[in-house]
């Protein structure tokens, strides 16, 4: 590979842009923001073949889209600070957690961002800062800039936010279910992070970047989810700070003997009842050619649009599991006792 700086092409209020940022920071990779501005948008989309962000601009001038692919690439390039465990059980858990957080957290992110007028009004100028002014949201706004950028939020809501909430089954009518589920997830994570700084122990992994990306871009930034944190505000703020600070984790390690923290048991049970219920129904409907499907994550039937990317992500994890030897499968079974998570990837 060529030596040099990497460019993070994206936006500061984007969960997946922040996910990639967390990995770049953790691995101490030289990088800088390349905001997807109005001027750059056409060229970026032509090179990546999508309007989605983020993308990674490498020193070779490659522009690579999709953090699921970028994460392992950077792990292999910067071996002095790996973020994917080498041992089989921890490695499998890393990819399973990344898959779940990648796709489940987005629901609460878009709901809290776009279903509340006060949140729409707040994020509008911040999107405008990156997209129109080519600068960070941390730079103070003048009164004139706030006035000029005020329409951005409503425009984004009407052109994007309103529909994406409907498609994902998290419109205003789902407010109570989304809020209660979010609180349940925070409770489970609070118990885990009381014993471990990261998901697999003392060292961050790819799954941490997915969780931290949602935290940084949404939960500790947008007014509505920030208010929803309640008693869990401190744990979420501290966890986010660990991933976006200047701490050096080079000499830290995951648990010895390929062990996984016992406190993840409750996380697995939570995800089995929520994300995996959602993903199973989604993929079954998609394979059957159905445009919409229904599932229940504990608060009654939810109707949403099918998403083909969920099965692609499932097959990515399946490929990882297929590389494990027989003994590793036996040990992995013990981690997922009383859940149907492994069956989801093996089907």
pLDDT single digits (tens) 250-270: 999 999 999 999 999 999 999
Residue 270 in any domain: the answer is yes
pLDDT above 90 for 324: no
Which is it for strands 6-10 and 63-65: parallel, antiparallel or unpaired?
Answer: unpaired
Whether residues 39 and 92 fall in one domain: no
Answer whether residue 108 is part of any domain: yes
55, 48 Cβ separation under 8 angstroms:
yes
> Is 165 inside any structural domain?
no
Token output for 78: 């910067």
Same-domain status, 211 and 280: yes
* DSSP per-residue string spanning 237-271: HHHHHHHHS----TT--B-GGG---TTHHHHHHHH
- Whether 293 and 328 share a structural domain: yes
pTM of the model: 0.97
Segments forming the whole domain that contains residue 100: 88-115+170-346
| Lookup: tokens for 63 | 């522009």
Give residue 329's pLDDT band: very low, low, confident or very high (50, 70, 90): confident
Q: Both 228 and 290 in a single domain? A: yes
Please give the residue that has the higher pLDDT: either 347 or 117: 117
The reply to whether 216 and 331 lie within a common domain is yes
240 confidence band (pLDDT: 50, 70, 90):
very high
Q: pLDDT digits over 48-79, tens only?
A: 999 999 999 999 999 999 999 999 999 999 99
């Amino acid at each position: 590979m060529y030596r040099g700086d990497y460019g993070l092409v994206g936006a500061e209020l984007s969960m997946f842009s922040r996910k990639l940022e967390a990995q770049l920071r953790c691995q101490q990779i030289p990088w800088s923001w390349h905001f997807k501005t109005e001027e750059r948008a056409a060229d970026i989309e032509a090179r990546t073949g999508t309007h989605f962000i983020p993308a990674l601009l490498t020193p070779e001038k490659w522009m690579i889209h999709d953090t699921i692919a970028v994460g392992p690439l950077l792990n292999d390039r910067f071996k002095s600070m790996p973020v994917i465990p080498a041992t089989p059980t921890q490695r499998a858990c890393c990819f399973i957690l990344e898959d779940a957080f990648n796709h489940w957290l987005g629901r609460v992110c878009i709901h809290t961002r776009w279903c509340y007028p006060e949140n729409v009004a707040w994020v509008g100028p911040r999107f405008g800062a990156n997209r129109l002014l080519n600068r960070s949201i941390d730079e103070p706004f003048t009164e004139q800039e706030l006035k000029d950028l005020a329409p951005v939020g409503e425009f984004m809501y009407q052109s994007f936010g309103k529909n994406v909430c409907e498609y994902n089954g998290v419109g205003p009518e789902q407010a109570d279910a989304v809020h209660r589920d979010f609180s349940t997830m925070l409770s489970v994570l609070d118990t885990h992070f009381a014993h471990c700084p990261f998901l697999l122990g003392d060292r961050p992994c790819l799954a941490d970047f997915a969780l931290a990306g949602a935290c940084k871009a949404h939960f500790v930034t947008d007014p509505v989810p920030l208010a929803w944190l309640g008693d869990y505000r401190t744990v979420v703020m501290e966890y986010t700070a660990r991933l976006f600070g200047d701490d050096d984790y080079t000499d830290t390690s995951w648990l010895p003997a390929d062990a996984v923290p016992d406190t993840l048991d409750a996380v697995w049970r939570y995800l089995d009842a929520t994300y995996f219920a959602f993903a199973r129904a989604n993929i079954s409907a998609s394979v059957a050619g159905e445009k919409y499907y229904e599932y229940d994550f504990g608060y009654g039937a939810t109707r949403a649009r099918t998403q083909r990317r969920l099965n692609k992500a499932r097959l990515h994890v399946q490929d990882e599991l297929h590389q494990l030897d027989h003994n590793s499968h036996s040990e992995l079974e013990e981690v997922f006792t009383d859940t149907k998570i492994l069956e989801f990837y093996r089907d």
